[in-house]
Structure 1
């Protein structure tokens, strides 16, 4: 029996927002994952992965469907970054899923300009912006605690089940580990393998210190990465929106998660997730200007059926990362080492969620609708438009991001500027 969907009040001035029940959401996410082809899926009984999904909820009909999903536990080292926008730096499930969601948004924006299509968006002629239907909200689910701040919590206060520390030989199977647990002399604590970032790199620091609220880079056993932890990325999206800078320039307001569902009560903690995603901003001077806000999604735990490919210390992490996005023609691709599985230089195949392909989606919308959108004034040579310059046009977004780094994050991994200077050739 499916529980009645919950109601969340964001503030006294807003109407209640319906939130799908955690078990219902998890069940639909698992069913969607099972329904897609086996390409890129872990070998059952031998490999594990993390699954993250974004589902669209229609309040009037209570219809719930997955529009994007991602799997994965890996990211690439700093020396492997590409200046062509054709490689994924970060292939963790949360990031794969969110990038698939960007594809979905671009598809819905294109449909909004076609009177023959149904879309979650409508175009406001006076604002020259796309508006999302008020009947729709988006909900996130993940089968493991996001790496970074959300993974630091006292297990004993989080649950009563006995915790068994894995042997070192089993730990070694986690080549690009998510967060792991550690036992000290007094209590059992879930800790993060993500590494702290410091401004003053000349001063020796404990990069593995389990301080809360600090920005970290992804965990890994090989070359250090410049990919920010999933906890920090979720916190960023919780202020700036899921849509990113490019899509925000097309919209009247950012898009936020209305709820976040965790699906492993042994390795997740609701209070730690709240702290990592939005409570960390309380008691700071940071206060974004509208339409941006510090979003407060309902964070809930599913205690229903477990993900059959859940992390198991006796198995190996799956080498590939899946992205699936619900478009007119659904996208299902696999990333290995940041590139499309099976692609060769001769074939020229690229991941649809790579920066350059997402930029191409934006590029196509500008070519068709710039006279209506009025993002760029005058004649624009789109063939020479750089990715970084297009992002800079989203001035409201960039100002809030600048303030967020200044007033709260303080530090953030800086990638070489060259990797954002590519164009659509």
Structure 2
């Protein structure tokens, strides 16, 4: 078994061991699976975080109190689960009676942590991330007996049954994405076949009826490959960002498109100059594909399967490792009447991740750098206030966005004003 298949099979096998709650219904639904894998110096592979999901809330459905998960695509759910895993590993460093971290060591002088020697993280996803990574050339077949013209076929291409017998008319086509180009980017021309999409553009995720404000997974992964996968708050506890060594995608992926979308769109010389004298780098993970098939794989064409409405999040942590998020952004089973209750919010919501941050901060000795930063602030109370303490992270991303990703949608700060 090659390396990509080893990583993929470890993730798929772990998913099989999880409870059925939140998983797709066999033969009726499909989903996407993403996961983070830890590899140690003995080359052992262990899944540390996992997520499934396909939904994303429209802007009118979002809430400002941090209790909902707005973006429930598998890649984002898995990353949130990964951040939760990192918090629990940091607790093992800074809090008594929480065990010994298998991934971090501590610099007692600064209070910052760094990865142990030989520890690497990999990322796996069963389907190409939405957005630019899903745009690649394909050959489309037209049923001979269908008798339709090419333009007519393009309009109804997704409705043609897969098991049509006579398939001998071929033409160059493009694999499609529902993600929309953001204003200011080159827009999709929607020409017949291979001219349908514009490659390289920043995009937002498709929503069910309403356009979203969430950048596509291709764009988010591109950003994480520069800023690290740990986020701004965890970054405060670390001496250097956490980067992914290998990205593995399932069999329906195109390697050239993946490399272009996740790494190739980064203007390396320009960004390297901007990152000079920061702790960030232009990470270029190895990108490979796997032949392993996910049992709930997204169908290509001609299927009655529906996307699963729920999302599963799992982290390698001792408390509440498994969570299921409904398409509303709350925990599955939450009613409208109970949405105001604390238990309605999933363990990977921003408000609950902030609680983990505060728990670690409260255990730190006052001479740690992060404590000095917070003590210098007179009004550091909201989620946004704590994020802004990660000055190097915030300022670096601002420079990158202005210089290289000028059309990246700006985050509405009203969603960062909640407290715990």
Answer with 309-318 or 48-57: which moved more: 309-318
In the alignment, structure 1 residue 318 sits paired with structure 2 residue 308: yes
Secondary structure at the counterpart of residue 211 of structure 2 = coil
- In the other structure, the counterpart of 2:407 is 411
- 1:7 is matched with none
Query: Could you tell me how far 1:136 is from its partner in structure 2?
Result: 0.6
Match 1:333 to one of 302, 323, 327: 323
Instruction: Give the Cα–Cα distance (whole angstroms) in 2 for the partners of residues 252 and 408 of structure 1.
Output: 25
> What aligned pairs does 1:8-47 form with structure 2 within 5 A after superposition?
21-47=3-29
- Aligned pairs (5 A) from 1:128-277: 128-156=111-139, 168=156, 186-199=171-184, 210-264=197-251, 267-277=252-262
**Distance (Å, rounded) in 1 between the aligned partners of 2:142 and 2:88:** 45
Q: Tell me how far 1:194 sits from its aligned partner.
A: 0.5
Residue equivalent to 1:84: 65
Q: Is the CA contact 1:56–1:137 (under 8 Å) kept in the aligned structure 2?
A: yes
Aligned mates of 1:148, 1:89 — CA distance in 2: 18
Q: Distance in 2 between matches of 1:232 and 1:407?
A: 16
1:283 deviates by 6.1
1:296 Cα deviation after fit: 0.7
Q: Deviations over 1:106-149 (max 9, x none)?
A: 00000112576221112101232111112110001111010001
- Structure 2 CA distance for aligned equivalents of residues 423 and 171 of structure 1: 48
Among 371, 377, 389, which residue is 2:385 paired with?
389
Contact 1:383 1:423 in 2 (8 A): no
Aligned residues: 384
Sort the Cα spacing of 1:171 and 1:76 in 2 relative to 1 into closer, same or farther, 3 A. Answer: farther
Instruction: Pick which of 31-40 and 277-286 moved more.
Output: 277-286
CA contact (8 A) 1:226 1:414 kept: no
CA distance in 2 between counterparts of 1:370 and 1:166 reads 63
Shift of 1:169: 9.5
Partners of 2:385 and 2:377 in 1: CA distance: 12
Q: Does 122-131 or 80-89 show the bigger shift?
A: 122-131
Q: Deviations over 1:371-392 (max 9, x none)?
A: 1432143747999611111111
Query: Which is worse superposed, 406-415 or 129-138?
Result: 406-415
Alignment-derived partner of residue 279 in structure 1: 264
2:83 maps to 1:127: no
Match of 1:180 in 2: none
Counterpart-to-counterpart distance in 1, 2:117 and 2:197: 40
| Alpha-carbon offset, residue 192 of structure 1 | 1.8
Secondary structure class of the residue paired with 1:22? helix
3-state SS in 2 of match to 1:419:
helix
- 14, 33, 36: which is aligned to 1:51? 33
TM-score relative to the length of structure 2: 0.85
Aligned to 1:178: none
After superposition, the Cα gap between the structure-2 partners of 1:205 and 1:133, relative to the gap in structure 1 and judged at 3 Å, is closer
Deviation at 1:152, TM superposition (A): 1.0
**Secondary structure, counterpart of 1:39 in structure 2:** coil
Number of the residue aligned with 2:147: none
Which residue, out of 289, 296, 300, partners 2:288? Answer: 300
Alignment partner of 1:348 is 2:342:
yes
Instruction: Compare CA radii of gyration and give the structure with the larger one.
Output: 2
Do 2:380 and 2:386's aligned partners in 1 also have CA atoms closer than 8 Å? Answer: no
Q: Deviations over 1:348-387 (max 9, x none)?
A: 3111111111111111111111514321437479996111
Report the TM-score, using the length of structure 1 for normalisation. 0.84
For residue 62 of structure 1, report the CA deviation from its aligned partner.
Answer: 1.6
Aligned residue number for residue 12 of structure 1: none
Does 2:49 match 1:68? yes
State the alpha-carbon separation in 1 of the partners of residues 258 and 34 from structure 2.
Answer: 15
Q: Rate the CA distance shift 1:153–1:163 in 2: closer, same or farther, 3 A.
A: farther
1:331 shift after superposition: 1.6
Equivalent residue number for residue 353 of structure 2: 358
**Which SS does the other structure have where 2:245 is aligned?**
strand
Write out per-residue CA displacement over residues 252-290 of structure 1, whole angstroms, 9 at most, x where no aligned residue: 0000110010112xx311111111111111366222234
Distance 1:292 1:22, change over 3 A: same
Change (3 A) 1:382 1:83: farther
Q: Return the offset for 1:219.
A: 1.6
* Superimposed CA distance per residue, residues 385-404 of structure 1 (whole angstroms, 9 cap, x where no aligned partner): 11111111111111220121
